[in-house]
Amino acid sequence: MLNADADADADADAAAHDRFDVPKTQRKRSKEEVILLMLCALSIPSILPFGVYRLMQHNWLSAALDLTLVAGMLCVMLFVRRSGRVKFASVVVTIFYSVGMLATVYIKGVSLVYWVYPTMIAAFFMLRPIVALVINGVSLIVLIIVLAQQMIPILNLLTIVVTIMLINLFSYIFSHRTGIQHKELNREAERDFLTGVGNRRALARNLATYAKSNGTHIESSLLLLDLDHFKTVNDRFGHAAGDAVLVHLCELIRSRTRTSDQIFRYGGEEFIVIAKGASLRSASGLAEDLRALVASTEMLEGCLITISIGVASMLEDEAPSAWLQRADRMLYLAKQSGRNAVRVAVDAAAPC
């Protein structure tokens, strides 16, 4: 294994910086946050006219209830926009909606029971299906008690209960299936279609977990691999053969890495292995093992395939982008030294 000091070769620094594209971190509203804000925004013009009308009719109790709901929605919108705490706000809004709905039915009677349906459906848009089902189930029990006190005909009561139960059942099934499909689509969107390993989107999401470690240093190492002279392989044997080499390379990487190690396709013939919990010494040994394995394996008849690898251990308080750049710089040095080599970023904090 070949080692290099972190401050060697300033030209390599410049080359690594020029070719390394690091996405800027900026807060982007999640779809859950957008849905919650939209539901609150739509609720305000839906409820406010009733509150104003009842206020003009001197129906103080109902008007106060409607205006309280409107004020609550405004407060939730401001809270979510400033804090981004969608999960907590979603539970609060659902409970707030449910209490308001029950109070409305209690005050105005069974004539306003139709507000139950949109209220319970909205819960499945904001919460996980099982949580929405539990809250709606409690609300239904309270609603039955309220309606029973109003002495409505038993057949009418049963009709209301059955339709509400069906609404919740259908909403739960739809929400649950949509969640499963969403997870499957996310998995496919983060998978390289050729090799089956993670793509750059998956890499970015994984690295974000290191950026959000709240100051807790997680000992991890990163290997940046590149197939040597891969363009020659494509030109000489064709792209189909080149694709087969890429697939074979990923199989070799999987055979030498742990199940906890993560593999990503970073570029056309570049791959990244993140070994979480691995020291620089362990990662260096893995890199040399992979280099030797590839060099000794006949991946393509009549052509010697080799790889160059840059290795870096994540330093304490280091940004993921800087971590990647140090590994990229080591890869550049490995290629500059003649390829089929390993270069390791060595520093005082992480001796090899």
> Which residue among the candidates 33, 188, 269, 298 is catalytic per the annotation?
269
Place of tokens 């139950």: 116
**Mean pLDDT, range 21-33, rounded to an integer:** 60
The angle at the Cα of 222, spanning 216 to 226, to the nearest 5 degrees, equals 160
DSSP string of 124-146, one letter each residue: HHHS-HHHHHHHHHHHHHHHHHH
Q: Which pLDDT score, from 0 to 100, does residue 12 have?
A: 45
pLDDT-based confidence at residue 241 (cuts at 50, 70, 90): very high
What is the pLDDT averaged over residues 322-331?
94
| Alpha carbon distance 236, 248 (integer Å) | 18
Compute the C-alpha angle 168/171/176, nearest 5°. Answer: 120
69-78, 83-92, 207-216, 336-345: which range is least confident on average? 207-216
> How confident is the prediction for the chain on average, in pLDDT?
86
**pLDDT, average across residues 192-220:** 83
Instruction: Enumerate the β-bridge partners of residue 265.
Output: 271
- Rounded to 5 degrees, φ, ψ at 225 are -110, 145
pLDDT at 281: 92
Q: Would the pLDDT of 118 be above 50?
A: yes
pLDDT digits (tens, 9 = 90+) for 249-267: 999 999 999 999 999 999 8
**Lowest mean per-residue pLDDT among 21-30, 126-135, 139-148, 297-306:** 21-30
User: What is the pLDDT confidence band of residue 109, given thresholds at 50, 70 and 90?
Assistant: confident
- The yes-or-no verdict on residue 150 having pLDDT over 90 is no
Least confident residue range of 29-33, 120-124, 334-338: 29-33
Structure confidence by residue, pLDDT tens digits, 46-82: 889 988 988 898 888 888 888 988 898 898 888 888 8
Q: What is the rounded CA–CA span in Å between residue 270 and residue 21?
A: 14
**Which contacts qualify for 345-349: CB closer than 8 Å, 24 or more apart?**
345/4, 345/6, 345/310, 345/311, 345/312, 345/313, 346/3, 346/4, 346/5, 346/6, 346/280, 347/6, 347/315, 349/315, 349/316
Least confidently predicted of 68-77, 268-277, 301-310: 68-77
> Per-residue pLDDT for 17 more than 50?
no
Tell me what pLDDT residue 213 has: 59
Question: Of residues 173 and 36, which shows the higher confidence score?
Answer: 173
349 pLDDT above the threshold of 70: no
* 269 catalytic per annotation: yes
Q: 195-346 maps to which CATH number?
A: 3.30.70.270
The structure's pTM equals 0.63
| pLDDT exceeds cutoff 60 at 236 | yes
Q: Quick check: 159 pLDDT over 80? A: yes
Q: What is the mean pLDDT of residues 301-320?
A: 90
- Pair of tokens at residue 344: 């390791």
Domain locations in the chain? 31-189, 195-346
* pLDDT given for residue 216 in this prediction: 66
Written as six digits, the tokens of 176 are: 């649950």
